[in-house]
Structure 1
Amino acid sequence: MSVRSLCLAILTFGDATGYEIRKESTEGRFSYFDDASYGSIYPALARLEADGKVTVREEQQHGKPARKVYSITEAGRDEFLASLCEPQAPDTFKSPFLLIAMYASDLGPDVIRRALDRRKQQILAELGKMQEFGYDDPRTGERWINEYGIACMKLTLAYLEEHGDDLINIAKGADKAAPVAAE
């Protein structure tokens, strides 16, 4: 998904500032789809405005500079929906934890135990966030994707619980040569 499409997707839920788009893409309901930095959001919004896909208005704020609020146009909505009909790119998954696991035999069991515990805590925190989401309309795809995400997180957690000792055992071979790791 391009940053352009991500901006349009977020704007289908209502008007937003660039800051709000960034927050929604990093912490909100759109944080599971793609990453977008301020350095990519604002140029995308400028191009979308120039192309007639969004409009922008300035809202005055007391004691602060005016803020720009973006709204999607019908042409923007049409472009966004058309982009969803194109073949999607493969999902990407990046995990610093998996890099640690890859080198378990070089790190020792204490490092691996801590990494497993941190990863489990991260998953539990993410599950908590996902389980807090509410839905105005339970028939939407948003509910389905949240339930899909919860299922994936629960499966990951179960795998770590059931097979974490296997990784610790791999690391035990490195116990004597393990480097001192910083917390």
Structure 2
Amino acid sequence: MNVRTLCLSVLYEGESTGYEIRRQCVEGECSYFIEASFGSIYPALAKLEEDKLVTSRTEQQDGKPAKKIYSITEAGREEFAQQLAQPLGNDMFRSPFLLFARFAHILPRELVEARANEFLQERVDKLKHLEEATAKRSCNAADDWVINYGRAIMALAEQHMRTHMHELITLARAEAAKDAAE
């Protein structure tokens, strides 16, 4: 998957601005698919428009700059379906927390405990967000499947943290031991 395909996926559901597409990629439902920055979204939209896969119109706003609203064309819908039919590649999972956890043994116990609790709370919050997303919008069966997959991943991560967080904290060094060594 690439940013062009991601843009087409958002536009497949309805009109959108580049800003709204970025918001979907950062905090919305597309945030679980691939990363996309403003620096990649706007060039992708320009190329999609050049290729006649999307169209745009400018809408004036009171007291604000005009905004450009994009719509997918029939050719864009066909291209999106063709892109989905291509080999998907490997899922990418990145976690700054797992890098932190990998080196918990060199960090102060209080810091490891604080970060572990933050990570746990983020899982709880993301699970709640998925629950709210389901309640706020009408979902088709495919949406439900994807959301339920996300729920399962977040619930498992939450359960793992609740069950094993103490092990990670135990790996961390105690501050007293550090002071004694000095």
TM-score (normalizing by structure 1): 0.91
Give the corresponding residue for 1:148: 149
- 1:86–1:176 distance in 2 versus 1, CA, 3 Å: same
Cα deviations by residue, 1:122-175 (Å, 9 ceiling, x for unpaired): 111111111101342442x11111111111111011111111111122224786
Q: Distance in 2 between matches of 1:11 and 1:115?
A: 37
Give the alignment's TM-score, normalised by structure 2: 0.91
**Equivalent residues of 1:49, 1:56 under 8 A apart:** yes
> What secondary structure, in the 3-state scheme, does the structure 1 residue paired with 2:172 have?
helix
Q: Which has the higher helix share?
A: 2
- C-alpha distance in 1, partners of 2:64/2:163? 54
Instruction: List runs of 5+ in structure 2 lacking aligned partners.
Output: none
- Please state whether the residue corresponding to 1:65 is helix, strand or coil: strand
Distance 2:158 2:138 in 1: 29
After superposing the two structures, state which structure 1 stretch, 146-155 or 55-64, moved more: 55-64
Where 2:94 maps in the other structure, the secondary structure is coil
Cα offset, 1:121, TM superposition: 0.7
CA distance in 1, matches of 2:156, 2:65: 47
Match of 2:16, SS?
A: coil
Match of 2:138 in 1: 136
**Residue matched to 2:164:** 163
CA RMSD across the alignment: 1.6
Partner of 1:5: 5
Q: Distance in 2 between matches of 1:175 and 1:11?
A: 56
Aligned to 2:40: 40
Deviations 1:11-60 (A, max 9, x none): 00100111111111111111111111111111111100000100011112
Distance in 1 between the 2:176 and 2:133 partners? 43
1:65 aligned partner: 65
Taking a change above 3 Å as real, the CA distance of residues 168 and 137 of structure 1, as seen in their structure-2 partners, is closer
Unaligned ranges ≥5, structure 1: 179-183
Q: 8 Å contact 1:17–1:67 — kept in the other structure?
A: yes
